Structure 1
Amino acid sequence: MEFKNVTVTKKANVYFDGKVVSYTLTFDDGSTKTLGFMQVGDYTFNTGVAEVMEFLSGELSVELPNQKEPLIIHEKAIFEVPANALFTLHVKTCASYCCSYVK
């Protein structure tokens, strides 16, 4: 994965006592993504806008709204989360991800 013509915010987004850390990328058109890393643990997030989550490495399960069964991820996967929703990740091995925000 490679991005061109982006601005990177140097200050990290730190969640869950530093167990989840990401950096914000802003593109010329004003769109944003975050690139991040998660340590082993359980994390619940609340979305403001719809998101497309792309996992690049790691093993985890994801509890998504309106889904009866968790999504099981081994290394790479992409999934969508609706706006104003909660979703929970159960990270079994350290994982890296890219989150795109849908406007």
Structure 2
Amino acid sequence: MPSVNHYFDNKVTSIAFQTATKPATVGVMEIGEYEFGTSEFETMTVVSGALTVKLPDNDNWQKFNAGESFTIEANQKFQVKVEVESAYLCLYGK
């Protein structure tokens, strides 16, 4: 059964579900800046819009547009800037 979570004063909404092979979330981020933490390996794909991301141990910001993905190892923090409302799909585990 999918579950809905809200973060950052309801500016990020996430729906958790189980794919055929992995747990996942799909969600929407409003315009803003956020810091997320991981508890396991994540692959995040931008579905709509764009996310500008500062990955762990990286001083540079990288922009990921719709259709592009990035990964984050477990137990890491990463920062995200959103300039237009954007949707994402996040798969958990390797």
Give me the TM-score of the superposition, normalised by structure 2: 0.90
1:14 aligns with 2:11: no
Query: Secondary structure of the residue that 1:69 maps to in structure 2?
Result: coil
Matches within 5 A, 1:1-103: 8-9=1-2, 11-27=3-19, 29=21, 31-102=22-93
Higher alpha-carbon Rg = 1
Structure 1: give runs of 5+ residues left out of the alignment.
1-7
> Which 4+ residue blocks in structure 1 deviate beyond 6 angstroms?
none
Contact 2:45 2:66 in 1 (8 A): no
C-alpha RMSD of the superposition: 1.5
Q: Percent identity?
A: 33
Deviations 1:62-102 (A, max 9, x none): 01012231111233310001100000100000000000001
Aligned pairs, number = 94
